[in-house]
Structures are given as C-alpha cells and as structure tokens.
Structure 1
Amino acid sequence: MSFMIIGCKKSTVNKIDLSNNWVFKQLNDTIWRTAEVPGTVHTDLLKHNIIENPFYRLNEHHVQWVDKEDWVYKTSFTISKEILEKEQLEIEFQGIDTYSDIYVNNSKVLSTDNMFRSYKVDVKEYLKEGDNELKIILESPIKKGIEKYDAIDYQIEVSDNDLAKIGKVEGDKKVSVFSRKAGYHFGWDWGPRLVTSGIWRPVILKNWNHFKIEDVFIRQKILKDSAQLSAEIEILSTKELEKSELEISINDTILVTKDFPLSIGKNKFTIPFIIKNPKLWWPNGMGNQYLYDINVKVSHKNHSDEKQNRVGLRTIELLREKDSIGTSFYFKVNGVPTFMKGANYIPQDLFLPRVKDSNYHHILSSAKEANMNMIRVWGGGFYENKEFYDLCDEMGLLVWQDFMFACAMYPGDTEFLENVKQEAIDNVKHLRNHTSIALWCGNNEVLSAWERWGWKQKVTKEQSEKAANTTWQSYVDIFHKVLPEVVEQYDSDRNYWASSPSSELGVPESHTDGDAHYWGVWWGKEPFNNYNVKIPRFMSEFGFQSFPELATVNKYTIPEDHDIFSEVMKSHQRSSIGNGTIKEYMLRHYKQPKDFESFLYVSHLLQAYGITTGIEAHRKNRYRCMGSLYWQINDCWPVASWSSIDYYGKWKALHYGVKESFKKTIVSFDDKKDEIKLFIATDSLSDFSAKLVLNLLDFEGNKLHSWNKEIQVKGNDSQSYFSLNKKELITLSENNDQQFLNATLIVNNKVIDVKQHFFIPFKNLKLPQPEITFDASENEEEYIVTLQSKKLAIGVFASGNFDENFSDNYFNMLPNTEKKITIKKGNIKTLTDFNSQLKIMSLVDSY
C-alpha cells in the first residue's frame, strides 16, 4: 500500500503520513467500509449514508446511538527493508478521540484516554518488511464515562450543558467530566450533543538513525536595543556521539554554530543568542506583526534534523495593582497599557477534521477586520490546531488560552491528575513558541459555579461535607497546583490565571478586581443600559443572542418550520430561556416584526444594539475597565446563538457593529439623567487635534441646531469632550420621536467616526419611508451597490442567497446621502443573477 513521505527535505528524520487506506466498522459488525483519517465516526457514517446530516432539522436526535457503540479502524502500509533497518521507528498519534487500544500486526502497543494529548510509541519490534497492519479499537466514551461515574461514591456537579437527556444516557448520567474530551461534544447552550470518536489528527510514522530533535523553545530573555534570547533544545539520541554540530539561523542568516556531544537518551541544551536592532511585534492596530524565522539544525556526518519557529519579539505583562477601586487587571504590550478588544472563540464544528485552513482564515481575518486584538480560546472546546495560532501570530491577535475545563467540577484521583498534567505539558510545549499566546487560564466558570451558582451548598446539603471537601480538593489540585506548576516549569514568562472569572486565586469574581463575566443582560433579563453601570476591571464574557439570517436558516429548515417556537427552531436554540428572551427584549426596543424573515432581521439589530452598548461602555470607562471580550465570535453548527458570525461564515449585524465600536478611535454618547455627554475613546498612542461636530437633525435631514468644537484628544485614553444640558436640548427638540443627534469626529479633514443618538426607543420613533434607491455594477472581482436615501434609514440590510459578506451592512443612512458597498462575486456569477437576488430593506420594512 502507498503512503506519503512528509517533513523537511534537509532532515534525515523521515516522516510517513499514515492517513491512507483506512477502513472502519462497528466492533461486532462484519462489514468494513472506507474511512477518512483524520476524521470521525460520525462523518464516516455520513459519507456512507448510514446517518443523515445531524445539523438538519431534528436529525441530531436520531444519531444518539453512535456514541454508545465501539468502533474499529484499520489500515495497511508497506515497510521497506531500508526503513526497517533504521535505529528508531516511532508512530506518533497526534489526536485520538478518545479511548482506544492500538495494535500493530495484532500486538497491542498503546492505550489512549485523552483527546487533547499526542502519543508516541516505539514500534520497531512490531514491524516487518512488507505489508503491516495498524488497528485502532475506539471504545464508547459514554460506556467508559458510565463506568467511571458508577465507580465513585459521590456525585460530581456538572452544569446543564451536558445534555444527557438528549443523549439518551442511562439514568441521564452526566458523564462528560470523567473523560479528557471536548466538553461541548456533550452539548452546550449553543451546541448539539454529538459525542464523537475517531482519529481526529494525523498519524505519523517517524524513522531515523542516531538522533531526533524532540523540542525547541525560543525563550525571550531581554528586549531592549538588542533582543537576548535562548534556544532550549531537547534531543533524543540512540548513540553516544562525541561531536555533533548545532546551527541557529535567523531569516536564513547563521547566527550561532556550536559543537557538543550527545549521550544516549534525552539531551537538553540551552544556547543563548542575540538579535541586534530588533523589530517589534505589535497587536493588531498598534503596529506591525514582524516575525523572525528561527531555525535550529543539529548535524552529525550524514545525519541531521532541524526545527523552525516563527517568533515575534514583544513583551507582555498582566498588571494587577492596587488602586482606589480595587485591583487592576490589564495587559501591557511592549510597555504600553493596551485595551483588549475581542471575542470568545469556540470550535468551528462538532466534527473537528472538517475545519479547513480557509475556515480559520475567514474567522480570524474577520476578527482582524473588526479591529480586534485578542481572542479567548474557551475552555470547553479543544487546544486549537497550529494553523489557528499561526494566523493569530500573523494577524496580531493575542490569545487568552484556557485549559480545557468548563462549567463543571472534576475528579481528583491520582490517575486523572496525572493525565491532566501530561495534557498540560503537551499543550504548553506545543503552543509556547507562538507570540500570540498572552495568558494561560485554568478554567471557564468553574470557581463561579462552585461559589456562586449554589453547587457547594447543594453538595453539602444533598450529599455530605466530605463530598464537598473532596470536590473542592480536586479543584485545588488541578487549578492551584498541577496547571500552574506546569506553566511555571515550561513557560514561566507568561502569566497563569486560575479561573475566569475570578478576583484572586480561589476568590470568585467582583467588578473591582480581576476579570468578570456579566450575564445580568440575557440571563438576568436586565436592560441593556445596565452595561453602562456594571463596569468590571476586565470583561471577559458578556453577550446577547440573535438568529442567523434567513439564507442560513433555510439550510437547516423547511418553510413549515418558520416560526421561532416550532420544534425545529426550538431545537436549534439551546439556551433554556432562548427564543422567548430574544422576543421579550425585542419588544422593549422595537415593534413586533410583521413576519418570520423580519423577526430574524430585527433580532440582528437588537443583538448589535445591545452588545455595542456594552463595548462602548467598557471603552468609555477605560480608567476602570481595560478589556471587552464579547461572547462569542462564531458557531459550531447552524443555530440561534450569541455569535457575531454564523456557522456558514455570514456576518451578523453584530459583527458589523463590533467593527465600528472597536475602531481605533470612536465617539460615543453617554445619556445621563440631566445631560448627554460625548466621549472619545482612542487607542492612538499619541495625542491629536480633532474637530467635533454635533447636529440636531430631523428625519427629513433638516438641521435644527449645530455645535462645533475644536478639541485635543489625549492618546490611549477615554474622556468626555462635550456635554449637552437636557433642559437646553428640550427647548431645541420639540418632537423627540422625529429628531436625533448626529456626532461627527474629524481629524485632518477626514471623518474618523459618525454616531447617531435617538432620544426614545426605536419602536416609538415615527420613521418615514426612507425612499431608498440602489444600483448595482461590477468589476472583475466584485459587485458594487450604490444606495441613495432621501430620508433617515435605520438598519439598511442588503441580502440574498450570497455566500460572501458585504463590505458593510445593517448600517444607518442619513437623509439625502449616498453609500457604496461591495461584495465578492462568490457563488453569483453574473450581474443579472446578482440583481435578481439582491434585496434591500430597512427597519420600517420589518413592520
């Protein structure tokens, strides 16, 4: 059978990709079917039409049998005499999901029990010249979970995100916490329950003589006029070698050469080197993302191996200093206090091998385009693929990296703790060379659940004090000992934060210390205006839901499902208060939409209005709050959720709104009891002169009053630069249901930002028909839509069956103005077809 040889041509360590010729079957079945590796059982079953698309309508409920079965995968490959004679032959399993027994030529060589770890096994003694067989038996994660659940004499608290009832698990047992496997596979309040198994990352056969570089860590020591670094190198050798040669090169220029001996086994060396006049790496919006290609090569006669890393030079600190409020929580990058603008990120699919490089590029380039500088990799998913972090490095997106623990307590037995330790070592070593990694965080909301959600009291009352103490000790062992000790040993230059949110080690969140997750809006049904009141030191989660647009909804429904309370629409909504909460908030701010399509559209406007209110509140109160990470940027299936980009990559109104609210410099209204203030928040590192123009307009475009002010804007700051007394405003504005304020910020004769402020809720405005006209043209790559509006238009939305996103959408148009938007041609090949698809609407059209 054929195989693919991969790896660096300069290295004599050969890598053979064993991704071909796989077949699979249910353990007790007799029929073998072709399989894809990397892949999952579910996607292989889909390929053979044994199950239907679980994302369509209610099909998820019909495939819950899959995770109760054991599965077998096998492949054959040919080994030549030349390869067999190599001193070392090792198979690396980069990702097995999750429980497996692995056989080479019917000899068991390995068992696995952690989806997040990579496993290496020496297979030289098991291989033979000619045909060889590799077989992997995947045991049901549900059966293993039940076995572990039943083996302990107390019950571990798990959130309702473990959808055991949908999963038809024996006794509705929540078994997710017993397996080191992606928590969201068991369900979440934005995702389905599809508990996968499979060979989800590549399987590589490595063979070599003499030595192999196991790991290279480029540690930054000092960054000033020159950068002092060290290469911490780990080499595995099969021989005693008196002399081997080491070479460190940067951007193909050799900086260091050195001779050293190798002993049998693991060898560790630390080699210092200097980069003169270093070019700095900056977060998105603050400067360039310069990356150095640093190559480490080890040679001995005809044998060599090398590893290359792309490394940016920057400093990053988490500052926690006592002040008049409490204790700060903010990041300094290259010595500059940096307001973090970004979002929480979840896995992009339930079936992880389906996520392609193009999907990563789309989500992360969308984040960059929306002026973000930080992404939080949330703890209920998985440690992302290298492509994700490479793109974050290139795009200037700092990564808040959770370890994979979320919304549950966990076992604390010796075996579990050792598994967690090895998982942490694997992933810290795997990710630490990425410049984008800013923070290691132990877990998501576990401390909050124990201390604030009533879990501690529940365990004490319903089980025993001993059970509570055992549960808490497990928490301490994992998050106060094992994980921080791994970070200290393997990546000590980065900060560790035990739980998000929290105030201190073991102390639950407050709005005066640490980071916060504010869910008073949504779960607490509090008004959007509370975002202006509940201001933490760093907002690492807050959010509000919307539905996807109709083009996406049509991909998982049929017309008879088009009611937000239909069974299909409720099934594609996993929040327990879901669709009704969207409607409740909507009717606070907007009129009842006239039909299903309009309801979806207005839900977008509502979500964008709420979350941008929060973002601007955080930026206005920069003296107190230095981060705004909303929940969430993306989806893992088509669903009503908190995302700003839906499963098919379509930007919602929220993402367009975020792009505006995260701009380098924004103007923002602050409506108080007696006055309306205008704030300017900027991430510019220097002061600048600007002109602030404020107009009171009616919906026809008539200017009722105007205020102009020349101002000096303070860099990297937020301040109020203008105030309107409401009593004065009342004398100017008699019909507040037909008038609004429009603020324009001008720098060097260029408009930097424009913002409208309405005096009353949108539902009470007497909006005219805006009389929008539009014309479409094209160039080689895109269609151009030119719109004119005679009167005020709110939420102008261009839609159609397009697989690309418009350059702008869901925007307001002032009276008697023109706007151009563009869209890549994508799936629409002719201008005629584009015109037939294109639909333009605004808020008044939804009533």
Structure 2
Amino acid sequence: MILISVWGCGIDSSVSVIELNKNWNFKSSTDTQWNTASVPGTVHTDLITLGKIEDPYYRLNEHNLQWIDKENWEYQSNFKLSKNDLDKQHIELEFLGLDTYSKIYLNDSLLLQTDNMFRTYTKDVKSLLKIGDNKLHILFDSPIKKGIKKYDALPYKIPVSDNDLSKIGKVEDEKQVSIFTRKAGYHFGWDWGPRLVTSGIWKPIKLKSWNHHKIEDLFIQQNSIDEKAMLTAKIEVDADLENKKTKVEIFVNQELIKIVDTQIANGKNNLEIPFEIENPKLWWPNGMGAQVLYDVEVKITAGSYIDTKSHKIGLRTIELVREPDAVGSSFYFKVNGHPVFMKGANYIPQDVFLTRAKKENYIHILSSAKEANMNMLRVWGGGIYENDEFYELCDEMGLLVWQDFMFACAMFPGDSSFLDNVKQEAIDNVKRLRNHTSIALWCGNNEILSAWENWGWKNKVIEEQSKEVADTIWKAYDDIFHNVLPEVVNMYDNNRAYWPSSPGSDFGEKESFEKGDAHYWKVWWGKEPFDNYNTAVPRFMSEYGFQSFPELTTVEKYTLPEDHDVYSDVMKSHQRSSIGNETIEEYMLRHYKKPKDFASFLYVSQLLQAHGIKVGIEAHRRNRDRCMGSLYWQINDCWPVASWSSIDYYGKWKALHYTAKKSFQNILISYENKKDTINVFVVSDSLKSVPALLNIRLLDFDGNQIKEWKKQLTIDENQSKKYLTILKNDFLKETPHNNLVLHTELLINERILSENTLYLSPYKSLDFPDPNLSYSITQEKDHFKILLKTQKIAKDVFLSSDSNANFSDNYFDMLPNTEKRIHIKKSDLETLESFKNTFKVMTLIDSYKRINHDNNIATH
C-alpha cells in the first residue's frame, strides 16, 4: 500500500510510504519448505493458521509447544519497485518491531542486525534496491539459545523472579534467560500467563522514500495554559536540498495560525517554533470534564516540495506532587491545578500473541475502564510499550496512563552494550508517546527495588556469591533506573515526572506507607484478611489484588467436562500462581458457605474477589486525606486463566468489574464498620459541592423496615467526609444479625445519586430465604431487556448467557419487593428464542441450595 499526500498545484509530497505486508513466507531454519506467513504476526500464530500446531490455550497444549522457541526461524518477501520509486533521493526501510534477534538481508546483502523488540530500526537502502523484484529476508535466532549463551558467558548469576517459567519452557538446566533479551518479559511466563516465547515481525515494515526534506519527528510541548495556551512545536527535519529557503506553517483544527520563514540545511535540523491557542478548552480525566483534543499539524514547504506531520493533543497541566506533610510526604497527581484521586487498574498486554489484539479489543478494554469510572491505567513493566491506538483511545476517553518502562521483577545486566540498547529503546518510546495527553508518569520498573531490598535478593547474592557481585548487580540497577532512564525523560519529555521504581518511596529508597507508592500483597500472598485493607492505607496504592476464576462459559472454551474440577491438571495449568486455587478456596470458606458444584465454585470465587477489592477501594477512597490512588491488579488477561483480572480473556466482565464501576463512581457512600459503631462516609471526586438527602434504612430479608435515619447535607467537593455515626446498640440488641441489611441512598430531587449496602454478619452466617425471583425477557431493536422481580432479598444476582456481550449490570443485590431492568446488546445472529435458551439466573443461595426461579413468558 502506498500512501502519498499532495498539497496544492505544482507542489509534490516529499515523502511516500509503502507498507511491506504482502507476499511473506516463513519456515524453520532446519526446514526446506516455505509456508505462507502473515505480517505483522508471530511464528506461533502462523503455525496455528497452517494447522501445524494446536491452539496453545486449549487444555494442556502449551506444554507441547516449547520446542518452537528453541528453533531459528526465517521470513522472506518479494516486492516490486518501478523506476519512479527509485528516483527519490532517499529510500529507507523502517522496522517498527522485530521480535527479537534478527539478521536482515536485502537482495542478499546483510543490511542490519537487531536485538530489541521495543526499538524502531531505520536503514538507508537506496543503493541496494533495483527496478523490478527485490527480496527481503529476515533470520530470527532463537531467543532461548541466545539467552543461554549470554547466561553462560556471565561469571555471576543475576536474580530473576520465578515468573520466568524455565521449567515449563524445558530450558537447559532450567536457566532463567529472560533478562538478557530486550523482549516482553511475560512471554517467558508469569503468575497469570503461559510461557510462549514468540519470534516474528510483530509490527509493520515500511519502505519510505523522500526528496528534498522529511519531517522526522514533531513534538508539541505545552509550556503554560491560562487565557492562552503557550506551546512550542519542536520539529526534527532531515534535508537534502539546494534551495534553503523554507516556510513552516502551523495549523490548529485545520486553521492556519502561524507562518514562519526560515532556513534548513543539509542533514539534521532542529526547529523550535512557539505558537499560541486562544481561549484554550482544557482536557480533563474521565469523570471530571470533557476530553477536548486539538489537531495540530505542521507543514514544511521548501521549493516545490512539502511534508506534513500532525498530532492530536489535549491541553492540560499535570504534576506529581510530593511534598512533606504530617504523615510523611504526599504522592498525588494534580491535573489542571486540582488534586485528583486516581481510580483504576493495572494493564497487561491483551494476548501473548500481540498481533491478535485488534482495535476492537482495545476499544472494549478501554471503554470498559471508562464505563467503570476509571481515570488511570498503569501499563505494567513486564509487557510492552503499547501500540499507538491504545494511547489514542486513552486520550479520547480521559484515561491517564502510568507508563512503566519494560523492566519487571528481575535484576538486569549492566554492560555498556546493554545500557546503550536500553537508552535507545527509551528514546524511541518516549519520543513516540510524549505527544499523548494521557501519559501522566514515566516509571522505571516494576518491583525490582522491592525484590532487591525486601525479598532477600541482595542478601542471597552476598551469601551465595559475594559482596562484590552484589555491588556489580546494584550498579547496573543504579545505572539503568537512576541515570539512563531519567536522563532520557529529562531530555525528551521534561514536563512529566519520572519515578524510578514501583513500589518505592524515592530514588533508591524502598517502599514506605508514609511516602511514595505501595504494592500491598499481604492479602493474597500473606493470607491476611480483607479487613486489613482498612488499616494498610499508603499514600498511593499502585498494586493490590485477589484472584478469581472466569465464569463457566469461558472455562468451557478451554476445557472438557472431565476437567471441571479446580484441582484437575487442566485447571491447575490455567492457574499460574504458586498458591492459587488453594488460596481462593481458603478465603472462600472464610466468607461463604461451601459451593455445591464446579459452576458454583467459579461464581462464588468472583463474588469473593469483588468483595475483597471493594473493601480495598472504599478504604483508599475514604482515606483520601492520606491515600490518593487505588489501582488494583489487574484489569485484563492475556489468555484464558484463573487470575486477578476483572475482565476475562474473552472480554466478559467479572463480578469485580461491575463492583469497581460502583465503587469508583464520582460520589460514593462508604461504611466504616467498627466494633460498636457504623460511620457513614460520603466521598466526592466532583469539583462542585452537591446538596443531597442521606437516607439510611435497616431492613430484614423479608423487607420489613427496622429503623431509618435521614439527613440533609451538602456533599463537599473533592474530599471524603464522615456525615453520620450509627450506634449498633440502638438496634442490634433486639434483632438477630443474620437477616439484616443496612441500605443507604443519596438522593437529589428523589433521584438516586449513589447507594450502598452493608450486611451485619459474615456472608456465610446470613440466613437467606428463597427470594422468589422471577424474570421476563423482551427484545427491543438491538438489545434484549430483562425485567427481574423479587419478593425477598436476592443476594448477588448473576445473569449468564452464551452471548459475547456484557449485561448492563450483574452480580447485584436486590432488596425485598423490588424490580430491576437489565439490558444486553444483541448480536446479528441472535434471536429472542436463542437468547432465552441459554439465559440463566442464579443468586448466592443457589450456590449451596437448589432454588427454582420462575421465568415469565418472554415477549417482543
């Protein structure tokens, strides 16, 4: 495909682009037969398409495919060029993503060698091209064989977490070699992912040709925003010209706002052109205002040639505020001058095979985040610097991005070639992403400082090797995270903050709950109770979480019926936490009655996860005078698995995601349940105060009202405040605890602004009656509508079907004598009858008893 833009009569576009995505073949280096390949793609996905391997995600197939990463692989393509194509002054090949060790031959001449899947490689190729057929041939070396050579060559051992699943990978002597290769760490396995170490051309290859001049890079730096937005267009221009007189034009939303006459010389040119936007409209995070984006285009005309480049930008200020206070030191983000509580989750790549994640997958995950009232996602450091469309969607949806550099849970080499490679990787990606309004923070790594200081790595190296080895390993850490990366950020994006390690309290200072950010894993790994979230409150919680299983319709996609036991080989293989299924069951029996069957176990695991994280989210938000961020681990999966995700691999929202949507809403009612009192808080992330009626009712499970409290109040803006204290002795002496629910609503003109419930005994002690739940289903245009009615309390109502869509609400409670309307999008192939045939409803009592729910006749 050739993309050429032409401006005006007699003006030629300087640059043309051909994407080389056709006529590709591949083979193992030990084979003689070439096979059709897809580019962009991976070896694994090409083998799947050809039927040469089974689905790696199905049952135990992953374990039989570990031979693939021990092979060397070859890709080749032929492309035709005309005399006109070759007449351009400069012709370059641009490789946007090669995974990972490659030798590139153009017309049988060695062009380039690569060793970093995160980098862009560009090479001038005019002298090697010819009219007619041209051949591009790429040899990919096995990342495992390469890693073993580097591992064996190093005279000491570098600590790596057990997430490098070298045993599953059948690596020689189980050597953990992932750290030696600048490649996505999760490909080597993680405690939520498979080990499938890919190779291939994972991003486009482009043939770029140009005459006269080419805009290599454009950065729109925001200097200040007031009545005017003061900006600078920083332009990198390559030139090969005789006429040096040049005109630079800047357009904002297609309106010409600045013209500059200047000169550019042969070679590299750096231009800085200030410009202004009058009466700027601000960009706001999700829930705080609109996401206004300006289209800024730079056009450079010299002689009879032009080139253009543009970016969509939002105008906003953002700063990481770290100031001494009564607790220690603050850690929060201020956007457009206002402190913002960050609500969100950690994000991992959406598939092990990266090219499978299409735009519709990005839209689904990110719109799900937006719909769940999130305003921040953390792009975690063991995956990839995400594709451009990820950040474009975050810009559009108001989702700020905490951006890790790609280092996680391991120490790394520190030789000069490795450091140089990392520096160029950082430059490539900071320059690529810095125009995105959504980028809020650059973070050096995930959990490496904690591992060195708190997990015993440093002491183990000293004990088993030597103090000198420990110093060498630490110097590499210091060089990468305290020198190379912050220097790149300072040079190329100095208006944004850099944070060296998550969690951490400062440069080289380990995690503290008094300053910096925290990862709290004593719930789950430490087996501590969910209630500990109420007291373990840091300045910013950037990781915490609890696992659940996907729902049965998802599990059925990767299992057979004989696998339907959480301790079967297949279910254990699709659980990568070393304490996984046992820990889910242990916590489950603390809180719930034992589920009666496999499907019920899956369902209750999701209720358990949602309950635990709800405790954490509400504790963080109630204590926003101390804590200003709550990012749970994790929003999504990269394969079908039991994990910490709130959305499973197939896009189904778990109970956690529906619960997070309620817990992250801008105005939240939250209970602080003490021994003798219940404190009722209202938390607001709104920038305006709101008058409201607080209405609290104590009900039994049959719907009888025991007591009521009402209070007129004004919800103060952007803060958490206790508005009412209820004494338990006022009502618990005469009433049993196991059939009571406290329900609170905030109302504005009789419209419910927010609501929440509190049960006064553990769930497993509650005496739930048969809810007498009934439902009817109707069809309206592109949706099915479900009307539910209950006579008595219905706890954790779960709706399921074979539909790929998600219900408008799910896993919800219904108070006695109430009804609720739910809708779900209809696919083109579904009918009312087919939907009814797979639709099911259950409540918590169904997980341990057998209850029949009436289905009224469904009508159009």
Task: Please report the TM-score for the alignment, with normalisation by the length of structure 2.
Answer: 0.97
Q: What do residues 703-742 of structure 1 show as CA deviations (whole Å, max 9, x unaligned)? A: 01111111121110001101011222323x5211111211
The within-5 A match list for 1:264-275 is: 264-275=266-277
Query: What is aligned with 1:819?
Result: 820
Is 1:18 the counterpart of 2:15? The answer is: no
Contact 2:381 2:408 in 1 (8 A): yes
Partners of 1:795 and 1:240 lie apart in 2 by 74
Q: CA deviation at 1:240?
A: 4.2
Query: What is aligned with 2:844?
Result: 843
Is 1:489 the counterpart of 2:491? The answer is: yes
Q: State the secondary structure of the residue aligned to 2:165.
A: coil
Query: What is aligned with 1:5?
Result: 2
Is 1:351 the counterpart of 2:353? The answer is: yes
Q: CA deviation at 1:748?
A: 2.9
Contact 1:802 1:827 in 2 (8 A): no
- Corresponding letter in the other structure for 1:841: M
Partners of 1:679 and 1:408 lie apart in 2 by 41
Partners of 2:510 and 2:47 lie apart in 1 by 44
Contact 1:502 1:516 in 2 (8 A): yes
Q: What do residues 263-309 of structure 1 show as CA deviations (whole Å, max 9, x unaligned)? A: 11100000000101000000000000000000001112331111010
Larger displacement relative to structure 2 (831-840 or 782-791): 831-840
Q: CA deviation at 1:242?
A: 2.0
Q: What do residues 586-610 of structure 1 show as CA deviations (whole Å, max 9, x unaligned)? A: 0000000000000000011100000
- Corresponding letter in the other structure for 1:717: Q
Query: What is aligned with 2:612?
Result: 610
Q: What do residues 595-631 of structure 1 show as CA deviations (whole Å, max 9, x unaligned)? A: 0000000011100000011000000001000000000
Contact 1:78 1:132 in 2 (8 A): yes
Q: State the secondary structure of the residue aligned to 2:636.
A: coil
Q: State the secondary structure of the residue aligned to 1:693.
A: strand
- Corresponding letter in the other structure for 2:477: Y
Partners of 1:816 and 1:546 lie apart in 2 by 31
Q: CA deviation at 1:828?
A: 5.1
1:445 to 447, 452, 470: 447
Query: What is aligned with 2:58?
Result: 56
The within-5 A match list for 1:161-180 is: 161-180=163-182
Partners of 1:356 and 1:690 lie apart in 2 by 44
Contact 1:635 1:643 in 2 (8 A): yes
Partners of 1:225 and 1:748 lie apart in 2 by 37
Q: State the secondary structure of the residue aligned to 2:311.
A: strand
1:637 to 639, 647, 658: 639
Is 1:228 the counterpart of 2:225? The answer is: no
Q: CA deviation at 1:480?
A: 0.1
Q: Cα distance 1:827–1:455, how it changes in 2: closer, same or farther (>3 A)?
A: farther
Contact 1:370 1:662 in 2 (8 A): yes
Query: What is aligned with 2:809?
Result: 808
Unpaired runs of 5+ residues, structure 1, are none
Contact 2:244 2:302 in 1 (8 A): no
Q: State the secondary structure of the residue aligned to 1:313.
A: coil
Is 1:759 the counterpart of 2:756? The answer is: no
Q: CA deviation at 1:752?
A: 1.1
Partners of 2:244 and 2:553 lie apart in 1 by 67
Q: CA deviation at 1:241?
A: 3.1
Query: What is aligned with 1:523?
Result: 525
Query: What is aligned with 1:769?
Result: 770
The within-5 A match list for 1:177-192 is: 177-192=179-194
Query: What is aligned with 2:396?
Result: 394
Q: What do residues 480-534 of structure 1 show as CA deviations (whole Å, max 9, x unaligned)? A: 0000000000000000000000011101101110000000100000000000010
Q: State the secondary structure of the residue aligned to 1:606.
A: helix
Q: State the secondary structure of the residue aligned to 1:480.
A: helix
Q: CA deviation at 1:827?
A: 6.2
Q: CA deviation at 1:6?
A: 2.6
Q: State the secondary structure of the residue aligned to 1:161.
A: coil
Is 1:472 the counterpart of 2:477? The answer is: no
Is 1:124 the counterpart of 2:121? The answer is: no
Is 1:591 the counterpart of 2:606? The answer is: no
Q: What do residues 764-812 of structure 1 show as CA deviations (whole Å, max 9, x unaligned)? A: 1110010110000011110000000000011001101110000000000
Q: State the secondary structure of the residue aligned to 2:671.
A: strand
Query: What is aligned with 1:151?
Result: 153
The within-5 A match list for 1:265-664 is: 265-664=267-666
Q: CA deviation at 1:749?
A: 2.2
Q: What do residues 743-766 of structure 1 show as CA deviations (whole Å, max 9, x unaligned)? A: 111123211112111111111111
Q: What do residues 70-108 of structure 1 show as CA deviations (whole Å, max 9, x unaligned)? A: 001000001101111211000000000000000000000
Larger displacement relative to structure 2 (718-727 or 802-811): 718-727
The within-5 A match list for 1:75-224 is: 75-224=77-226
- Corresponding letter in the other structure for 1:513: K
Q: CA deviation at 1:413?
A: 0.2
Query: What is aligned with 1:675?
Result: 677
- Corresponding letter in the other structure for 2:739: Q
Partners of 1:567 and 1:6 lie apart in 2 by 51
Contact 1:240 1:261 in 2 (8 A): no
Partners of 2:578 and 2:612 lie apart in 1 by 20
Contact 2:243 2:303 in 1 (8 A): no
1:44 to 40, 43, 46: 46
Residues matched between the structures, number: 843
1:254 to 256, 261, 268: 256
Contact 1:39 1:198 in 2 (8 A): yes
Q: Cα distance 1:199–1:80, how it changes in 2: closer, same or farther (>3 A)?
A: same
Partners of 1:200 and 1:6 lie apart in 2 by 21
Partners of 1:429 and 1:9 lie apart in 2 by 26
Q: CA deviation at 1:9?
A: 4.8
Partners of 1:842 and 1:92 lie apart in 2 by 56
Q: State the secondary structure of the residue aligned to 2:169.
A: coil
Query: What is aligned with 1:737?
Result: 738
Contact 2:14 2:213 in 1 (8 A): no
- Corresponding letter in the other structure for 2:228: S
Contact 1:70 1:140 in 2 (8 A): yes
Contact 1:803 1:827 in 2 (8 A): no
Contact 2:296 2:313 in 1 (8 A): yes
Q: Cα distance 1:305–1:461, how it changes in 2: closer, same or farther (>3 A)?
A: same
Q: State the secondary structure of the residue aligned to 1:806.
A: coil
Partners of 1:523 and 1:828 lie apart in 2 by 44
Partners of 1:211 and 1:748 lie apart in 2 by 63
Partners of 2:6 and 2:701 lie apart in 1 by 67
Partners of 1:52 and 1:492 lie apart in 2 by 48
- Corresponding letter in the other structure for 1:6: L
Q: What do residues 48-83 of structure 1 show as CA deviations (whole Å, max 9, x unaligned)? A: 111110000000000000000000100000110111
- Corresponding letter in the other structure for 1:47: T
Contact 1:665 1:681 in 2 (8 A): yes
Contact 1:802 1:828 in 2 (8 A): no
Q: What do residues 211-237 of structure 1 show as CA deviations (whole Å, max 9, x unaligned)? A: 110000000011011000000000011
Contact 1:20 1:37 in 2 (8 A): yes
Partners of 1:261 and 1:790 lie apart in 2 by 79
Partners of 1:128 and 1:754 lie apart in 2 by 70
Q: Cα distance 1:8–1:435, how it changes in 2: closer, same or farther (>3 A)?
A: farther
Q: CA deviation at 1:633?
A: 0.2
Partners of 2:153 and 2:65 lie apart in 1 by 28
- Corresponding letter in the other structure for 1:748: N
Q: CA deviation at 1:12?
A: 3.1
- Corresponding letter in the other structure for 2:79: F
Is 1:665 the counterpart of 2:662? The answer is: no
Query: What is aligned with 1:785?
Result: 786
Partners of 1:645 and 1:262 lie apart in 2 by 51
